[in-house]
Amino acid sequence: MVDMGHMSARESAEHEAARGRSVVALLAAVAVVVGVRLWATQLAEFPYIVADETAYLSMGRLLGGGDGWNLGRAATYGPAYSLLIAPWTALGLSPDAQYRAAIYTNVAIAPGAFLLLEALVRRLTRLERPWSIVAALAGTLTPSLAVLSGYAWSDSLAVFAFLLVVYACVRLVEDPHVDRAGAAALAAVFAYSVHGRFAPAAVVVLVLFGVLGWRLALRRLDALLAAAVLVAGVVAVSMVSGAIYGRLYEPGGQVRQTTSELGRALRPGPLLLSVSGQVWYLLVTTAGMAGLGVIALMMVSLPRSRIVSSGLERGPGAWITAALIAASFLCSAGFMADRPGPDHLIYGRYNDAIVGLLISLGLARLATAGSPRRHVLDAGAVMAVTAATGLLIWWLRGDLLAQPYNGLTIRSLLALGREGTDRVVHYTVVGVVLTGLVACFALAARKRPGTVLVVMVLLAGAGTYRGVDRTLGVRGGDPRAAIRLDGLAPSDERVAYVVGPEISGKGFYRYPFYAPDLHLYRTAAPVWKRGVPWIMASPTRADIQAAGYEIVWTDPNADHALWRSTR
């Protein structure tokens, strides 16, 4: 804090000028964040990912006063994002306008996440403005965060929610007070309402209340009150979510699979392999900066005589930050353990919530390095872990990594090359080399830390450009022709959606977004033999035609047709 009462007029003027420059720099950074997100989402015009996007849109329509649609037995999601986009339904916007409004909502969330990240950089590191702004900007400019904001799902809100929990907890441990404890509890409840993967973070916050109360840093009654707010909030969110699921989902789906998911996540072998794969992904796609962020947090645990080299401010804020990051990472690794896809082995999407903070902390360590020896040790450790984890997953699961993958979950990796998961060894070499080059540059410019930060922002921007440029326009199967389905079948009739190898399941989830009066149910049975009045199936089904059905609508972009019984 600056004591304005003891400053000369000249010093006061200089201080005000510095504040003005900081505000300008902050606004410029916000403009960059918004501009990048607008550019990255310019071609996002219709839902593509099922059932993620359609689930959020269906819940949003229900919460906005409309009728949601049948989501079958798809995965379930937290209601917070759907509540955020519900007003677009309440305003009576067209489906196209609703979808674009959801994308603009994602863009609007990004500056909030950036501001939280910048505030955390100032609290946790020795960087001050404008360099804290530069470090936070580098943490915000990642290919994955930019690309995934172009879909109507909760990923952008998840980043904001996680950073909000960290910020609230850091403020609480800095100055324990019942108001701040309540804020931390509400932040944890909010994060849980965004996505269930933040349940471990809520547990960490609950433990924090217990520790503060036990050590009398916070009055025990206040700690109990905050814990009660958190538990009650989580229970309330679960009850509201259950009520929503009961309106939209068929029984027997993924709503009740929590036990089996937990059992798979606790298997040691697959869990360790998943941890290795996700660590590798974080290191390779951040040029080692995420690793430096982890090192900076670990250094806080060393004796005070050596803490000077950590790059972070010593204090409880770093401890709770490390605990929340670890909880989020382990939840991601556990959830993706022993899954069938190669992208699951190196899954990156759930770690988007923590990667920006790790990058920013890593940059703080890089920019405040004192001795060349520390640069060498840091780079050597990160390069060794990158090489070890890359070779481990390639050696143990090279067969899996060679299979087709889902690029949306590893988007930052595709900024390095289009090959995907089947070139892990190649990307390992690239990651090691990039980490070494960054360390060499930082070593050469260690007396000019600002230069290091600016160059890293440019590097992050280049990676984001490559990642987004390779994604623009890659969104097939435009479902918007389904708007002509509205009113074809009577609103009180259910339409049988016949699943099979010749028809994609995407229409089942996406068509009702454009045709609110279309009520689909999935079936594999030959319902045409029973004479049901309406069927959605492939237009090439001769057996349906022979049973006395005619086509009244076809999708020009997919092998789907609406059949009507003529009998």
Residues 30-78 pLDDT 10s: 999 999 999 999 889 999 988 899 999 999 999 999 988 999 988 899 9
**pLDDT (0 to 100) of residue 474:** 63
Looking at the chain, the whole-number percentage of residues with pLDDT higher than 70 is 91
User: Is 112 buried (19+), middle (13-18) or exposed (0-12) by CB count in 10 A?
Assistant: middle
Tens-digit pLDDT profile for residues 257-292: 555 566 666 778 889 999 999 999 999 999 999 999
The contacts found for 246-250 with CB under 8 angstroms, 24 or more apart, are 247/62, 247/68, 248/55, 248/58, 248/59, 248/62, 248/68, 248/69, 248/70, 248/71, 249/70, 249/71, 249/72, 249/73, 249/74, 249/76, 250/70, 250/71, 250/72, 250/73
Q: In Å, what is the CA distance from 564 to each residue of 266, 493, 511, 529, 550?
A: 50, 12, 17, 13, 5
State which fold the 480-565 domain adopts.
Answer: D-Maltodextrin-Binding Protein; domain 2 (3.40.190)
**pLDDT (0 to 100) of residue 79:** 96
Q: What is the mean pLDDT of residues 371-388?
A: 90
Interatomic CA distance for residues 267 and 215, integer angstroms: 35
Alpha helices per DSSP H over 48-154? 52-63, 80-90, 95-124, 131-140, 143-148
Give the residue extent of every domain in the chain.
Answer: 30-249+267-469, 480-565
Q: What letter would DSSP give residue 485?
A: G
Tens-digit pLDDT profile for residues 508-525: 999 999 999 999 999 999
Max CA distance (Å), the chain: 93
92: left (phi over 0), alpha (psi -120 to 50) or beta: left
Tens-digit pLDDT profile for residues 142-198: 999 999 999 999 999 999 999 999 999 999 999 999 999 999 999 999 999 999 999
